[in-house]
Structures are given as structure tokens and as C-alpha cells.
Homo-oligomer: A and B are copies of this chain.
């Protein structure tokens, strides 16, 4: 039961998990660490699974799925349904925002528009609906140099 390295860092995550009502386990700490250190904020279960494999931090695929759902329910992660059929997750930093997804390179950019939010609320209440949630995805070409198309 050697404790190897960064106890301090894992301690912080342990507390983070405990606060969320989840017991601190190795797989959960690994997934949480990945989200905090990964270059891309938005990742699918498969992304997580493969990244963990690549660093030798093996976690079963079923466990990855379970943890993602638990983290979502605990409010640690937010789930998105981009086109393509698979769920994508990101760390919940508390601020709601919408997304622009490049159809060529998959790059995701975040934005927030107060006017859009207000008009949505208006559209719903005008029709007698009470908004629970909403999702706005803009699919586009990013036109960046490193982007495959153009």
C-alpha cells in the first residue's frame, strides 16, 4: 500500500469528491484529474477511456461510464449531446454557456449571449412553458489555419 507521489493533490480531489457525496476511489480521482489537466475541456467516455489507457492509468470502460454519470448527477460535470450520437462532458465551472463546434476539426468554442438567454426565456413563457434546460449548438467551419478544411 505504498503511497507513491502527490498526496497533496490527491487529497484535494478526495475532498472534492467527498463534498460531492462520492467516496474517494482511485478511478474517480483519475477521471477527475484528467478533466482538470486535459488540453480539451469537452470529452466523451471513449476519449476518457483511451486517455487513461495511454497513461497506464487503466480504468474499465464500464466504470468510466458510471463515473461520468455520477459526476454529472453530483454537479461536477455537465453533459452535452452534440451531433454524432455520443455524450460529451466538461467540468462544471458554474457558468452556463453555449457551444460552437467546428464540423471540420471538432474544435469546440464556448460563448455566452445574454440576449439569447433572455429571448429563450421569453419564447418559453410566452407559450406558457417553464424552462428546465436548453441546449444551443452552432455547427460551423472554424476557418483556422490548422483546420483541415481550407
Size bracket, chain A contacts = 35 or more
Partner of A140, one of B124, B139, B142: B124
Q: Name the residue on B nearest A144 (C-beta).
A: B128
* A134 in contact (CB, < 8 A): yes
Q: Name the residue on B nearest A129 (C-beta).
A: B140
Q: Please give, as numbers and ranges, the residues of chain B lying within 8 Å of A135 by CB-CB distance.
A: 83, 135-137, 139
* A56 in contact (CB, < 8 A): no
Q: Name the residue on B nearest A150 (C-beta).
A: B130
- Smallest CB separation, A135 vs chain B (Å): 5
Q: Please give, as numbers and ranges, the residues of chain B lying within 8 Å of A52 by CB-CB distance.
A: none
- Smallest CB separation, A55 vs chain B (Å): 30
A116 to B119, CA, bound (A): 7
Q: Please give, as numbers and ranges, the residues of chain B lying within 8 Å of A123 by CB-CB distance.
A: 98, 100, 111, 113, 116, 138
CB of B120 within 8 A of CB of A138, answer yes
